[in-house]
Amino acid sequence: MSSSRYALIVDIVRSREIVDRPAAQAAVHAAFARAHDVVPLAEPLWATVGDEFQAVARTLPAALWTATVARLLLPDGLDLRVGIGRGETRDVARDGTGPAIKDGSAWWAARDAIDEAHRRSDRKESPWVRTWYLDAPRGRDAGTRDAGTQGDGRQDAGDAAQVALVDAQLLVLDRMIDSMTSPQRAYAGASALGRTQAQVAAAHDVTQPAVSQGLRRSGGAALVAALALLEEVAG
């Protein structure tokens, strides 16, 4: 069975440098689980091979919200790269012991998106890029990577404009997160989950004014407001 969804492919940045890989894997799962409690995914995060994970969102706002909040919730020294792809997704195999093997244009778009994020992060002028979004060309179905029978496999102007708008915002968002300190990220992540500044302060053993100042100076307050807008329409 296939359906139009938003596929997320996630990997750990510089995973070979991590000493405690099991702890890192657990931290990624925990971050996505906390995000899922607020904005549920169609299919929650699962590990595939190596340092890679996958998930499925019903809507683009849900995918963007989850990818951003999960990064904010990670412990110091751990970061993620995320490719988001819109298209068809279907189960092609299931052994009864875990998530089904997935296929479809959403996954191909997500793979191309995470590869693009990686390429951009390798450039001297944009090492902070972590997230990218692509829309599978119209006319590609879930059964073949080549152009399907319903068109020529090209995006129309409307699709291309939406992709450009999303990626333009992701570039700014990634740069903002990169400039934050670990506490500032944590304050923003907890705030995005609906915690009050007093609750955030208590959890981090600081004062409420310290949390407020950290959110204001880092741009975290604006980021939390933007995430609240995405949460309202995540669906």
- Which among 156, 179, 202 is the end of a domain? 179
User: Within 10 Å of residue 145's Cβ, how many Cβ atoms?
Assistant: 14
pLDDT score for 94: 62
Q: Summarize pLDDT for 62-77 with one digit per residue, the tens.
A: 999 999 999 999 999 9
Containing structural domain, residue 38: 2-179
170 and 190 in a common domain:
no
Angle CA(210)–CA(39)–CA(111) in degrees, nearest 5?
105
Q: Look up residue 51 and give its DSSP letter.
A: T
187 and 173 in a common domain:
no
211 and 150 in a common domain:
no
Q: Kindly report the average pLDDT of the chain as a whole number.
A: 89
92 and 167 in a common domain:
yes
User: Within 10 Å of residue 233's Cβ, how many Cβ atoms?
Assistant: 11
Answer yes or no: is pLDDT of 8 > 60: yes
Confidence of residue 200 (pLDDT cuts 50, 70, 90): very high
Question: Which residue did the predictor score with more confidence, 141 or 90?
Answer: 90
Confidence of residue 2 (pLDDT cuts 50, 70, 90): low
112 and 29 in a common domain:
yes
Nearest Cα to Cα of residue 227 among 193, 187, 181, 195: 193
Q: Look up residue 130 and give its DSSP letter.
A: -
Q: What are phi and psi of 154, to 5 degrees?
A: -105, 150
User: Within 10 Å of residue 47's Cβ, how many Cβ atoms?
Assistant: 15
- Which among 137, 160, 179 is the end of a domain? 179
Q: Report, in angstroms and rounded to the nearest whole number, the Rg of the chain calculated over CA atoms.
A: 18
201 and 101 in a common domain:
no
186 and 156 in a common domain:
no
66 three-class SS:
helix
- Window from 30-39, 58-67, 92-101, 212-221 with minimum mean pLDDT: 92-101
Mean pLDDT calculated for residue range 76-83: 96
235 and 128 in a common domain:
no
91 and 78 in a common domain:
yes
163 three-class SS:
helix
- Window from 25-34, 137-146, 212-221 with minimum mean pLDDT: 137-146
Roughly how many angstroms between the first and final C-alpha of the chain, as a whole number? Answer: 21
The bridge status of strand 2-12 relative to strand 131-135 is: unpaired
192 and 136 in a common domain:
no
Nearest Cα to Cα of residue 135 among 170, 168, 106: 106
- Cα distance between residue 17 and residue 77, in whole Å: 10
197 and 172 in a common domain:
no
Domain total for the chain?
A: 2
Confidence of residue 98 (pLDDT cuts 50, 70, 90): low
CATH number at residue 135: 3.30.70.270
143 and 189 in a common domain:
no
Angle CA(232)–CA(38)–CA(60) in degrees, nearest 5?
50
State which H helix or E strand residue 88 sits in. strand 80-93
